[in-house]
A and B are shown apart, each in its own frame.
Chain A
């Protein structure tokens, strides 16, 4: 079966995110009452697996391989079976 995976990679809390700050400044300039803007990455992919659990494990391993634990955390945001 095929599954669609959404993986989020974000900077850890407490790590200065100059990109987030720049975006925050612009949003505030536009009048939005926002703070603590952080910029991360979304990776989407399709993976072949026998079950949703297996797809989730694969997603987790990919997150581990692609993120840098020094400054990032990853979240397997969604695993959906494809029709």
Chain B
């Protein structure tokens, strides 16, 4: 039950991810991106940051890192693979998840708390949530506008692959303006058809203790722990 937290040059949420995973009692280790062997790991987490300085495109160069072949192998074998923020961008660039993440509509790097609705609770990342639960989780990105062509988008919706959606809390004075980046269908996170590869722009690892402002991200990691215990 060991989780690999992949470190690319420019990753900067790797330590936070490690902290969150260990907080729920998971064994986790940092793995440098040139590593060619993930033997002994039952899950991989691609953390946020600016892999390769976001040069060319966010995630575009990281997909060629040697470790990505092993991440792909884990994914194909059905082990949980999570990409958070830049990690999500890497997963789409690598073709492990459909679509792409484009520059936020307002062109701002946006760093704030947002509200997310949990659309699925049958996944190794969400089983500790309740259906429709609204979470308060921070985002911090400049390229988070989820885009896919109409056909892909329809397929995502039909297969229930949208896991997290930006939403407005019920008590909000306005039910508009909650989508922070212009993502199509308010998409904040999606999963592959098999349900083991998940990408999301918000940062659950930055919301695992109330002292951080929210602990709504904690069940995300608790879910993973539960799921990995079943695997073993």
- A15 & B56 in contact (Cβ 8 Å cutoff): no
- B57 & A18 in contact (Cβ 8 Å cutoff): no
Residue of A nearest to B59 (CB): A68
A15, A22, A66: the one within 8 Å of B147 (CB): A15
Give the distance in Å from the alpha carbon of A68 to the alpha carbon of B147 in the complex: 12
- A68 & B93 in contact (Cβ 8 Å cutoff): yes
Query: In the assembled complex, which residues on chain B have CB atoms less than 8 Å from the CB atom of A65?
Result: 64
Q: Mark A30-69, 1 if CB is under 8 A from B, else 0.
A: 0000000000010000000000000000000000011010
Residue of B nearest to A41 (CB): B56
Question: A-side binding surface: helix, strand, loop or mixed?
Answer: mixed
Query: In the assembled complex, which residues on chain B have CB atoms less than 8 Å from the CB atom of A83?
Result: none
Query: In the assembled complex, which residues on chain A have CB atoms less than 8 Å from the CB atom of B147?
Result: 15, 70-71
B56, B98, B105, B148: the one within 8 Å of A18 (CB): B105
Question: B-side binding surface: helix, strand, loop or mixed?
Answer: loop
With A68-B57, A68-B93, A70-B147 as contacts: A18 and B106 at CB distance below 8 Å: yes
- B102 & A15 in contact (Cβ 8 Å cutoff): yes
With A15-B102, A18-B107 as contacts: A70 and B60 at CB distance below 8 Å: no
Residue of A nearest to B149 (CB): A70
Q: Which residues 132-178 of B have a CB within 8 angstroms of A? A: 147-149
Residue of A nearest to B105 (CB): A18
Query: In the assembled complex, which residues on chain A have CB atoms less than 8 Å from the CB atom of B114?
Result: none
- Tell me if A28 is interfacial: C-beta within 8 Å of chain B: no
Give the distance in Å from the alpha carbon of A70 to the alpha carbon of B92 in the complex: 9
Q: Which residues 60-117 of B have a CB within 8 angstroms of A? A: 60, 64, 92-93, 98-100, 102-107
Query: In the assembled complex, which residues on chain A have CB atoms less than 8 Å from the CB atom of B56?
Result: 41, 66
Give the distance in Å from the alpha carbon of A19 to the alpha carbon of B102 in the complex: 11
Give the distance in Å from the alpha carbon of A16 to the alpha carbon of B181 in the complex: 12
Give the distance in Å from the alpha carbon of A66 to the alpha carbon of B59 in the complex: 11
Give the distance in Å from the alpha carbon of A68 to the alpha carbon of B93 in the complex: 7
- In the complex, 7 of the A-B residue pairs with CB atoms within 8 angstroms, ordered by the A residue number, are A18-B107, A41-B56, A66-B56, A66-B60, A70-B99, A71-B100, A71-B147
| Among all A-B residue pairs, the 7 with the closest Cβ atoms | A70-B100, A18-B107, A71-B100, A18-B103, A18-B105, A68-B100, A71-B147
A interface vs B, CB < 8 Å? 15-16, 18-19, 22, 41, 65-66, 68, 70-71
